[in-house]
Amino acid sequence: MNMNFWENRSFTIKTFTLVAMLVSFTVATGIRYHLLVQKISDTSVTQSSDIMLTGYKNELKDVVDMTAVTLAAAVEGIDDENQIHSIFKHLIQNARFFPDKSGYIFIYKKGGTVFVLPPQPEKEGKNLIDFKDPTGKLLIRELDSAAQAGGGFVNYMWEKPDKGLQPKLSYARMLPGNRYWIGAGIYIDDIQERESAILTATNQLTSSYLRTLYAALGGAVIFLALPLTWLLIRSIVKPVRELTTAADQFSRGRMDLTIPYIERGDEIGKLANALDRLGMSIKVAIARLKK
């Protein structure tokens, strides 16, 4: 900023400029704080979701791996497909897991043909390699590929009782012998519900705090900063103007003036006393000149 320009501005403009800068800084700080709180909230939601998803993946993989070991041991040395089907179905038909009992084991032949599917036995023997979920994902193809690649997870949408289409996660891996692959799935809609709950709670808490903060800042500006600034300006500008007028009158030869504010103890008082002494000195000098 050009110093000459600044020095030539009135004290009122300078004071209000300073107050405006302070208010702007306060508002900017409040906005930055708001954005920081939002970022922390988003980070906490993301981390919470990642932790839940990792837990589901670990649980799902453990179930599938343990079942795979059990099934492999049960059919060891057996080559007859009908006998293998009978043993597999007997072992997993009523197996349900997870708290809501929505988890079950399914077994496919390599290439996407249903081998054992407890909830829908009528589909056994059908090839579903081109089956798509409502979003168009070839989920059986992807599970088949994941299993043959050494095991992997696939996300898709699936109908959930009483809740409609919901996101689901499945894990698939090959059974020993590379003829069949085994998989299981878990609904992960509660992750989204958890995210929503965390966001709602965080937003309610931060919104309440920020409203209080902004109200306090606004009140401080309106009821404290502005009135005090106005009083400061009046306590300085008005006396300075009057003393300037008195000095101007001195310069024009009026020596009968009463200098105001000489009783004040601040800089205004010091200026008034100095002006009063100047007036007395001028009077003495004029008196001596007359003699």
130 within 8 A of 141, measured Cβ to Cβ:
yes
pLDDT, tens only, 10-33 = 666 767 777 777 777 777 777 777
What's the rounded mean pLDDT across residues 108-126? 95
pLDDT for 194-207, tens place per residue?
Answer: 666 666 766 676 77
- Tokens 């300037």 correspond to what residue? 244
pLDDT at 193: 67
CATH code 3.30.499.10 for 55-195: no
| Rg of the chain in Å (alpha carbons) | 42
Reference 42, options 269, 202, 177; nearest CA is 202
44: CB partners within 8 A, 6+ apart? 198, 202
How many beta carbons lie within 10 A of that of residue 105, not counting itself?
A: 23
User: What confidence score (pLDDT) does residue 225 get?
Assistant: 72
Closest-CA residue to 60 (of 146, 138, 131): 146
> Residues 137-157: what's their mean pLDDT?
95
Domain with CATH 3.30.450.20 in the chain: 55-195
pLDDT of amino acid 265: 80
CA angle 107, 98, 183 (to 5 degrees): 15
> What average pLDDT does the segment 220-238 reach?
74
Residue 72 clears pLDDT 70, i.e. is over it: yes
User: Does residue 169 register a pLDDT over 70?
Assistant: yes
Above 60 in pLDDT, residue 7? no
Which residues have a Cβ under 8 Å from the Cβ of 149 and sit 6 or more positions away?
none
More confident residue, 73 or 248: 73
Instruction: Kindly tell me the burial class for residue 157, based on how many C-beta atoms sit within 10 Å of its own C-beta (0-12, 13-18, 19 or more).
Output: middle
With beta carbons less than 8 A apart as the criterion, state whether 226 and 65 touch.
no
